[in-house]
Structure 1
Amino acid sequence: MTDSATTPKTSLNKFEKLKAEKDGLAVKAEIENFASLGWEAMDETDRDHRLKWVGVFFRPVTPGKFMMRMRLPNGILNSAQMRVLAEVVERYGDEGSADITTRQNIQLRGIRIEDLPDIFNRFQAVGLTTVQSGMDNVRNITGDAVAGLDADELFDTRELVQQIQDMITNSGQGNSEFSNLPRKFNIAIAGGRDNSVHAEINDLAFVPAFKDVSPGYISPGYISPEKSEKIFGFNVLVGGFFSAKRCDAAIPLNVWVLPEDVVAVCRAILEVYRDNGLRANRQKSRLMWLIDEWGIDKFRQEVEQRLGKSLLAATEHDEIDWEKRDHIGVYKQKQPGLNYVGLNIPVGRLNAEGMFEIARLAEVYGSSEIRLTVEQNIIIPNIPDSVLASFYTENILKQFTINPSPLTRSLVSCTGAEFCNFAMIETKQRAIAMMKALELDLELNRPVRIHWTGCPNSCGQPQVADIGLMGTKARKNGKPVEGVDIYIGGKVGKDASLGTCVTKGVPCEDLQPVLHDLLIEHFGAKPKVLINS
């Protein structure tokens, strides 16, 4: 393994220096000490940075109240785990909350440093981990939200996603092999036809593809078929990312792999990136910058060398040929007599009461399983036909509806300035209020995906939205105000593509009429006819 020490110290950025001074995972053994010291007495580098290696994030806008980021591979947890998360949030009263993220994950807010030992013990008891969920690590690994439930799926992603997580994190215990990447790294595996994981915005993504294989055609390491046949596997995409400096869609690696080789290919790509990624300029440290410097052919060759065998060329076409589904509502599973139900969680925000209720619903009506989606919503699977009528009567469905209005249905938002020091604007509550106001004025015959993000780091992914809103500083009447840059035309599902910025610096207080006109002009909305009584 090559670490940051191989780079001349004069070219190390400040983050590489702090990693060289002390491994981020070292703080695992210091949690009790941090809890007794209190946040104000801690070493600032430990507090502000190294704690992120165990999923704990200092937030300057809420000093003393930390955020915790989980690891939930494929976005799956159970009622017992959700109940523990709810108990953690509950202890902080009005200051405690949770957010579902665009990586099928959950972040907890209001956490106090003195409670960390007890919280980590509670997590361990129910099989939860936060390890390596921040800083220069692989983020939560996404897979199909309805994996194993969908009769039309091509591959059940759950086991592969878990295997990758276990490889990267040493089964949740922490793994120094992959805890010092040049920057963060996103991995996604698609198992269906609708690209539910937004493959193109990941550093590494696997999309389903069938390959025509003839006897003797398979390269060393693969079993040659006895007769020509189509074999299922994945085309590999690399380099997708959003940052304040640059946004790029992932590009083909020109590689096709069998499911049983996915974990090894992930390891090889991560090793190549870890040992060769650019570390001097942090703004140029994501995987795509290395691919730019080397070229895709050299990058592939390095991966093959690390893997120890040649890889087959990608197929010309993959199997992503459906429009994107959001899974909100009631759907038949491939298991006879069972259903999965998608609940709309407005902008992904949860409180303890809502979390307890979701845990109860999953336990009473389903199999205790709960799933998260990249649209910040929740799926409860395995609900028998015989109890659906009773399920529909639950009061919580008034808050987390199965039939939301078109704009609320597809609304996504990052944390915003309420909790994040990078955000330039408040997002979540503003987004909800503005969608409700627009829906009072407009009739829409289909959902319109509107994504809010508080800053150019693009956690809210405005580039993949029908309408994307990126927080910025605008000016009105000569004074600075909160504003947005507007993106149009992002597409998910088949033929996915990134949207483009069409307007800059719109003051938030002037945004509603602008969105009103965009919805009419581009998305078929019509003004409601008001009838005087």
Structure 2
Amino acid sequence: MLHIRRAIGDGVPQINTAVVDDTLSVADEVAQKIAESGIDLSQSGLASISDEAKLRALAKKANKFEKVKNQKCGSKMWTEVHELASLVREGKTTWEDLDLDDIDIRLKWSGLFHRRKRTPGKFMMRLKVPCGELTSEQLRFLGESIAKYGEDGCADITTRANMQLRGVQLEDADTIIDGLVQRGLSNVMSGMDNVRNITGSPIAGIDPHEFIDPRPLCHELNAKITNNGLGNVELTNLPRKINIGISSSRDDFAHCHINDVGLKALQHPETGEIGFNVELGGYFSIKRNIMSISGNTFLAVDQVVPYCLALLEVFRDNGGREDRQKARLMWLVEEWGVDRFRSAIEERMGAGQTLRPEAHVEYLDVWQRRDVMGIHPQKQPGMFWVGVCIPAGRMHAADFAELADVAEKYGDGSVRLTVEENIIIPNVTEANLAALQAEPVFQRLEIQAGPLMRGLVSCTGAQFCGLALIETKNRAMEVVKKLEIELNIPQMVRIHWTGCPNSCGQAQVGDIGLMGAPAKLDGKAVEGVKIMVGGKIGENPELAEDFSKSVPAAEEHLLPVLRQILVDKFGATPKAVVSA
């Protein structure tokens, strides 16, 4: 049901606050509240959640987004987006005349994010790319989809090994979506209160040190959650988003410690079987940044999908729906305790399912997380993967076509996205390595990038995101270039930039993290950054600690601070100055 022009939150019926008869059953109380509110249950997101969850969503203190979902479920946009695009294209309406809740909130269920503050009338389209796998055909289509939008038409690899297209106009959305589906990609359930892109390993299936290839699990789980990319109303009204990572080696390329659900592969020390220990609750937000905790569960491979689906149902029906800052999975786990949460999942999984306690393995060696950039031998004899640095994850239309050509010419026609916003070309024979490296695209996108550029990660920043306090991507690239010119840096240093405390750029996991923050210079407010140092990833992760709460972001103030950090903590030395 399409609606025209309504302000966000306007027209949402107010819940009758009269005292409810405490003799009513939960079902009767829900029915009474729905009747009083005038909500059409056939349109509402309430239809697919438990009665207890309905009461939380209908409560007076429920947050604004719950009220929007109550009125009309975001899943309706899976079909309505085609109608909206057609209406705009045919000149029957404009995006300004459409329902604001649809445009600014519900379209996110179809992966369309309106950038009203920075680029009004234009959208970012987020995809679902399980385990970061793309084919050359898919790459070309993505490049073609943004080519028409000029400077606004670009794309970003994300910290979930996903892809976001920028500059998309609503009248083109249906054509792009249909093209994605035809090529085996999807955009549904990629935003708002849904399971986000499932991460795995960028070298899955070719890694000499992996316990298991996680790709089948990533794809099966994504298919179940999204109903094979068509949309799944049963799992589309969660209290908040859920991030799932499936790690296949001791490197933890999926960053399980900052996922709501992290599955870490290992060999069980008693049975010898390959399975997964569960970690729960890791996330970053404005008000809280926390690493995951043990879920005290070891999963056999065939339990992974049933476990995750049961967990999502438990979270859907029991998670908080009032304060969105207290609605992520960790809050429910802490409220219940790990044992109760584990029991609830086991019960939801059904008869015959038993969850074992986590497996404890003590490794005798110290495992250093590997750098996947550059050229590395695969476990398949004579084959190599090539890690390509995509500076700050930003791609343009021509990049897609050129990388697709290279992947087809020298590899198997596929590429992998990484959570560090780079690309891997797998399955290259040794005989093809020299010719591949000579391709013109690698003059721009380096295979052997410098120690800072290869580890650079950045969120979108103020160029497109209305929440960002600073511009990040272009600034990050310029700062890194200058530091690499000035310093000899003996090791890769991972510098993460994020424009605001939501930390999409994951500043807390960087060797150095920079977060947009207020700053003052000569008593005047200027763009600034908070600096963190010491984040670790891999087998023994740690979050970075605060180094400075406020540094002006202008290069003349920021560069000296970063230069000194690199010298003091990472062994950098100034390059010799050659006099004329």
Question: TM-score over 0.5 for the alignment?
Answer: yes
The one of 68, 75, 91 aligned to 2:132 = 75
**Alpha-carbon separation, structure 1, partners of 2:366 and 2:240:** 32
Superposed displacement of residue 91, structure 1: 1.4
1:246 corresponding residue in structure 2: 288
Q: Is the 8 A contact 2:249 2:266 kept in 1?
A: no
Give runs of aligned pairs for residues 289-328 of structure 1, distance below 5 A: 289-308=331-350, 309-317=353-361, 322-328=367-373
Return structure 1 stretches of 4+ with deviation > 6 angstroms: none
Opposite residue 208 of structure 2, the aligned amino acid is: A
1:208 corresponding residue in structure 2: 265
Opposite residue 40 of structure 1, the aligned amino acid is: E
TM-score normalised per structure 1: 0.95
2:229 corresponding residue in structure 1: 172
2:100 corresponding residue in structure 1: 44
Runs of 5+ unmatched residues, structure 1: 214-228
Opposite residue 45 of structure 1, the aligned amino acid is: D
The one of 489, 513, 516 aligned to 2:560 = 513
2:317 corresponding residue in structure 1: 275
**Alpha-carbon separation, structure 2, partners of 1:70 and 1:99:** 11
Superposed displacement of residue 321, structure 1: 5.5
1:528 corresponding residue in structure 2: 575
Opposite residue 566 of structure 2, the aligned amino acid is: L
Is 1:405 the equivalent of 2:450? yes
2:74 corresponding residue in structure 1: 24
Runs of 5+ unmatched residues, structure 2: 1-48, 88-92
Judged with a 3 Å threshold, the aligned counterparts in structure 2 of structure 1 residues 433 and 272 are, in CA distance, closer, same or farther, namely same
Opposite residue 437 of structure 1, the aligned amino acid is: K
Please state whether the residue corresponding to 2:548 is helix, strand or coil. Answer: strand
Superposed displacement of residue 162, structure 1: 0.3
CA RMSD of aligned residues (A): 1.3
Is 1:186 the equivalent of 2:228? no
Superposed displacement of residue 500, structure 1: 1.5
**Alpha-carbon separation, structure 2, partners of 1:318 and 1:347:** 36
Superposed displacement of residue 325, structure 1: 2.1
Superposed displacement of residue 318, structure 1: 7.0
Superposed displacement of residue 453, structure 1: 0.1
Worse-matched range after superposition: 522-531 or 372-381: 522-531
**Alpha-carbon separation, structure 1, partners of 2:476 and 2:251:** 26
Give runs of aligned pairs for residues 133-532 of structure 1, distance below 5 A: 133-213=190-270, 229-308=271-350, 309-317=353-361, 322-509=367-554, 510-532=557-579
Q: Is the 8 A contact 1:210 1:318 kept in 2?
A: no
Opposite residue 305 of structure 2, the aligned amino acid is: V
Opposite residue 43 of structure 1, the aligned amino acid is: D
Overall identity of the aligned pairs, in % = 48
2:7 corresponding residue in structure 1: none
The one of 135, 160, 171 aligned to 1:114 = 171
**Alpha-carbon separation, structure 1, partners of 2:366 and 2:213:** 18
Superposed displacement of residue 103, structure 1: 0.4
**Alpha-carbon separation, structure 2, partners of 1:33 and 1:211:** 52
Q: Is the 8 A contact 2:214 2:246 kept in 1?
A: yes
Q: Is the 8 A contact 2:156 2:163 kept in 1?
A: yes
Worse-matched range after superposition: 39-48 or 522-531: 522-531
Q: How big is each residue's C-alpha offset from its partner over 1:258-307, in whole Å with a ceiling of 9 and x where there is no partner? A: 11100011011111111111111111000111112111221112112212
Q: How big is each residue's C-alpha offset from its partner over 1:453-495, in whole Å with a ceiling of 9 and x where there is no partner? A: 0000000001101110010121111111110111111100121
**Alpha-carbon separation, structure 2, partners of 1:318 and 1:485:** 37
Q: How big is each residue's C-alpha offset from its partner over 1:177-218, in whole Å with a ceiling of 9 and x where there is no partner? A: 1101111110000111211111100000110122244xxxxx
Q: How big is each residue's C-alpha offset from its partner over 1:386-443, in whole Å with a ceiling of 9 and x where there is no partner? A: 2222111101111111111111110100000000001000000100111111112211
Give runs of aligned pairs for residues 94-133 of structure 1, distance below 5 A: 94-133=151-190
Opposite residue 302 of structure 1, the aligned amino acid is: A
TM-score normalised per structure 2: 0.88
**Alpha-carbon separation, structure 2, partners of 1:174 and 1:386:** 44
Please state whether the residue corresponding to 1:185 is helix, strand or coil. Answer: coil
Q: Is the 8 A contact 1:67 1:109 kept in 2?
A: yes
Q: Is the 8 A contact 2:211 2:266 kept in 1?
A: no
Opposite residue 444 of structure 1, the aligned amino acid is: I
**Alpha-carbon separation, structure 2, partners of 1:326 and 1:41:** 49
Superposed displacement of residue 496, structure 1: 0.7
Please state whether the residue corresponding to 2:559 is helix, strand or coil. Answer: helix
Opposite residue 11 of structure 1, the aligned amino acid is: K
Opposite residue 133 of structure 2, the aligned amino acid is: I
**Alpha-carbon separation, structure 1, partners of 2:161 and 2:433:** 25
**Alpha-carbon separation, structure 2, partners of 1:136 and 1:403:** 39
Worse-matched range after superposition: 95-104 or 471-480: 471-480
Superposed displacement of residue 38, structure 1: 2.7
Q: Is the 8 A contact 2:269 2:361 kept in 1?
A: no
Please state whether the residue corresponding to 1:128 is helix, strand or coil. Answer: coil
Q: Is the 8 A contact 2:211 2:267 kept in 1?
A: no
Q: Which has the larger radius of gyration?
A: 2
Q: Is the 8 A contact 1:38 1:114 kept in 2?
A: no
Worse-matched range after superposition: 386-395 or 243-252: 386-395
**Alpha-carbon separation, structure 2, partners of 1:416 and 1:273:** 31
Q: Is the 8 A contact 2:498 2:506 kept in 1?
A: yes
Superposed displacement of residue 322, structure 1: 2.4
**Alpha-carbon separation, structure 2, partners of 1:88 and 1:505:** 40
1:14 corresponding residue in structure 2: 64
Please state whether the residue corresponding to 2:443 is helix, strand or coil. Answer: helix
**Alpha-carbon separation, structure 2, partners of 1:243 and 1:212:** 36
Q: Which has the higher contact order (CA 8 A, sep 6+)?
A: 1
Please state whether the residue corresponding to 1:406 is helix, strand or coil. Answer: coil
**Alpha-carbon separation, structure 2, partners of 1:144 and 1:258:** 19
**Alpha-carbon separation, structure 2, partners of 1:190 and 1:88:** 32
